[in-house]
Structure 1
Amino acid sequence: MATTVSRVGCRITVTVRIEFRNNTGRLNAAQFQQLVNGWEQSIEALWNGSTGSQRYRCCTVTFNVVTKIGQGTNGYHQVNVVAGPQTSVAGLGPGSTNGRWDDQDTGAVAAHETGHLLCLPDEYDYNGPGGAYRNLNPQPAGQPQSIMAQTWGNAAALQEHIDAVMECTDATCPWYCCIFRWIDWLVLRRVLRIFRPLFDRLSLPRRLSNRLTSEREGTIADRRDRPSMKHHSIDSLLDEVRSGDPDRLTAAYDELLDRGDDAVPSLREALDDESPLVRWAAAGALGGVGSDEVTQSLQERLDDPNASVRVVAAQSLARLGDSAGVPALIRALEQDDVMIGHPPELTSDYAVQVLRSVSGERFGFDSSAPAYERARAVERWEEWWDEQGEEFTPR
């Protein structure tokens, strides 16, 4: 199975196997391998924490990520990697085949999506005031925030996440591990380690043994199927977006992207909807339909009061070969609103991903960098745009 849990003594190992398929259309084999290697390292680093392992009751938990490039291998989660930026999704459970990541996903985004493979739901929505992002699992100020709620700043796998993964897999931590942990405090672990095989063979009451088992392997079961939107009307899909629920919003948005020319009248009308979620979805979906009317409608959204709508309108214009949105993307680098979509990212992070995609340039922008470094990177983008002017054609 794709995600398994095994235990040897008091050490639990969670192994997540992911197979990535290169459908980016722009990364060669070496570049794609480098991207996958980076994701693997980032996922392990975040899920194992600063100490290199986690705790479940009195046991040590280690997360091991095994990646390969290919398609359809049994025992691997299947993830289709496409050119980004765009929404990324991952199914849950062994053999998940509906994963889609993009080639500009950060390590934190990859760790968030891996959380879904480990049974964990999203911990955010867009039901704040005016359709704003809302963290549903906020942590105290100064403490790491949930990786299932955000993908920027000091995000981490929380203890409650580790506990949930263990419970989802029916993993057990034997009673004697707590004794050994207590003995550790007395610095006698080496001496008593020789008695561990004896404890393994003891049969104690269930209330004491914590469901004692020998070495075992558990498998995460499928817990969530993305809702099907194939038979929804355009208005119904927009209502799903308006819900602010990440699963429903993403599934409806993906379906809107597939509706093509028939959806254009409704989507152009939706650009004036009072909900920024609906305007965001309409602006994104129109990026796949080229016409003068669509281009004009998207250009009008470059002054939308919502940053997510401005950025996705600029992205859609770039997809249609129109560079009018580039200045809006550069201005967005100075903003740290939360971008609508899945998973949640900062508007500045998403905007720079679009800029890199359409220009092939980088200029060292990092939203987590000190203010002076960030300002200098923005200046480089502004200087680049001044040099390009209106003659620039997005890639």
Structure 2
Amino acid sequence: MQLFLDIVRQSLATLWAHKLRSFLTMFGIAWGVGSLLLLVGLGEGFRSGQEKNLKELGSDILFIFPGRIPAVAGSQRSGRTWNFTYGDYLAIHDQAKHLRNISPVLNREDIRAVSDYGSTNGQVFGVAPAYNQIRTVPVGIGRWFNEEDNQEHRRVAVVGWELLKNMFPGRPAVGSTILLNGMDFSIIGVVEKVGREANNGTNARIFIPIGTMRTLFRLKGNSQADALSFMNYQPRTREEHEAAKAEVHQIIAQRHGFDPKLEDAFEDWDTVDNSRKVAKIFDAMDWFLGVVGVVTLGLGAIGIINIMLVSVTERTKEIGLRKALGATYRSILTQFFIEGAFLTLLSGGIGLAGVTTLVIMLAQLPAPDGFDTPRIVPSSAATAIVSLAIAGVAAGLYPARKAALLEPVEALRQE
């Protein structure tokens, strides 16, 4: 044990004697470890931010908007704009087998909302009671409207968090009355803050039953009394999202007399498909960044091998003298191996500590839109540690073996 400690002390003394060379050699490894962990951590923060954005919309949602359909029934050429109708919603609700929930949306942005304490122009959404099962609309105070509210066309409203600040500053809203284009509505619920207030429309919306909306606020600029803006729905399971989409297209196309495969007829936003695509992109990015980091580590290890070989050449006479005085193959091998491995592991530890500190500091700052704070990914840290161990063995073993195999007589003859 004492012999081993002596060898360690000699190794550290040698590294300290060449401080600048040791520092420059270590920098490559530290940079490689730091780059690997930081890049993957930033990528993971971006992935997490995008996933949060999708979750703020809701779980497994599909949006469908009307596009353009043939001006002449049966034609394959798109020619005119059109709108969904409330009858389309009812047909899908009754006939579709692959759907869990569906809600029509009738959206108006020109309705003036007035309370006793303030006024604002916000989006008014007429939706079905199932809407809050599809979208993320958490009611913190009060309740969401039910089927009775919808069927009886009650003038009730659920108000978003952002509008609440303007219309009822510091005052309770539930039970109060607001005017929507001069008509009384009773507030029955307040939506909790969803996401970042400036980055989520739910916070600045007023929700009323679709039955009430169709009666009082028809879709602006449309001659159809039952026209809708768009529809939200959920497949029964994630695996059925394509079947659900095809089923919805088929029902609507049959009702309006055009081919459901007509490309311009629908505009779909499929969050199930989008989330899978985003996951694949980030998985590929993680692999790419991991390979870049490992290659950087490998280049750093090659740098250490070169420096250790230079060290062996410079100390050839010293090695010969020590072997002539009785130093064993094992002691020479151990000393040079420790020097190479120590350089590698110390520099890797510095890189790991530096990035961890940086990530902790970044976590205290507000994240940009679409990003979450970066984090140390355990799998990346494990990859870095394993790569460091391999690099340390490679960087220490080859030069150490070369030094240990030197013949004393030949070594002493070297200039």
Q: Work out whether the TM-score is over 0.5.
A: no
**Bigger relative contact order (CA 8 A; separation at least 6):** 2
Normalised TM-score (structure 2) = 0.18
Normalised TM-score (structure 1) = 0.19
Q: Which has a greater percent of helix?
A: 2
